[in-house]
Amino acid sequence: MGKLYIVPTPVGNLEDMTFRAIKVLKEVDLILAEDTRTSSVLLKHFEISKPLSSHHKFNEHQTAENVVNRLKGGENIALISDAGTPAISDPGFLLTRACTEAGVEVECLPGATAFVPAIVDSGLPNDRFCFEGFLPQKKGRQTRLNEMAEETRTMIIYESPFRVVKTLGQLAEVMGEDRKVSVTREISKVHEQTVRGTLAEVKAHFEANEPKGEFVIVVAGKEEEPKKKKGNKYKHEEEEEDN
């Protein structure tokens, strides 16, 4: 039986490709790509010559079964996306689930993921955070925004340049204009930029400067209200918990 390799690819700078990722792609029998045209450029750059097949969000339901059968037949297959780690706001989950349910081994290589440098770079707390990915565009969007307004962990959102100002405005409406935010665009590319401030300040910046590139929005969580002490009884309960 073969193995499915989940292989991250650079989110911008091709030098972020790992030696191991190149080695795996050169050794597998087939490479599944989100967009074969985009991936062809990457593979050509690293002199990787392997059969390439399309696997994207519009056909993954149909292709997953065939891929699992090929893996069962002994082929080793790699899955890549246009940029970053497959299955993180990109196709990959359905195939991974199909493989695990069928008893096919899956191995995900470590590598590029846009939200990691964005949250580390933000200056906001990163000991606990939640990844929201792309927010619903219509149905369920307001409900999600309202839920996020009560979230105490730092939140990470992916957004396109066409909706980033709108999203910052909606976040300000439910969280308050003074909530801290960090917005990073074009990670690891020539024009990488991070803008930090309040939601109102960062929204104003991108209203004055046309948004370009792919965006990661990192929003501070809601401040937790301090627990009210109730004399010695509260202190006694804390001591018992510590013991």
Task: Report the sign of the C-alpha dihedral through residues 146, 130, 11, 47, in that order.
Answer: negative
pLDDT of residue 59: 87
Backbone phi and psi for residue 52, each to the nearest 5 degrees, phi listed first: -120, 130
pLDDT above 70 coverage of the chain, percent: 93
Residue for token digits 């980033």?
A: 164
Domains of the chain: 3-108 (3.40.1010.10), 115-219 (3.30.950.10)
| Residue 91 Ramachandran class (φ > 0 left, ψ -120 to 50 alpha, else beta) | beta
Confidence of residue 13 (pLDDT cuts 50, 70, 90): very high
CA atoms within 13 A on the CB side of 169: 8
Can you tell me the distance from the alpha carbon of 87 to that of 209, in angstroms, rounded to the nearest whole number?
A: 32
Neighbours of 233 (CB within 10 A): 9
Q: 60: how many CB neighbours lie within 10 A of its CB?
A: 20
Single-letter residue type at 175: M
Average pLDDT over residues 126-143: 95
- Is the pTM value of this prediction over 0.85? yes
Residue-wise pLDDT tens digits, 43-53: 999 999 999 99
Contact 104, 4 (CB under 8 A): yes
Q: What was the pLDDT predicted at 226?
A: 72
Percent of the chain with pLDDT over 90: 88
Residue of 166, 220, 207, 158 whose CA lies nearest to 187: 158
| Residue 75 pLDDT exceeds 80 | yes
The pairing of strands 30-33 and 77-80 is parallel
End-to-end CA distance of the chain: 51
Q: Does residue 22 carry a pLDDT above 60?
A: yes
pLDDT category of residue 239 using cuts at 50, 70 and 90: low
pLDDT at 240: 58
Alpha helices (H) along the chain: 19-27, 36-45, 60-72, 93-101, 115-122, 141-149, 164-175, 199-208, 231-242
CA 52, CA 233: separation in Å to the nearest integer? Answer: 67
Distance from chain centroid for Cα 195: 19
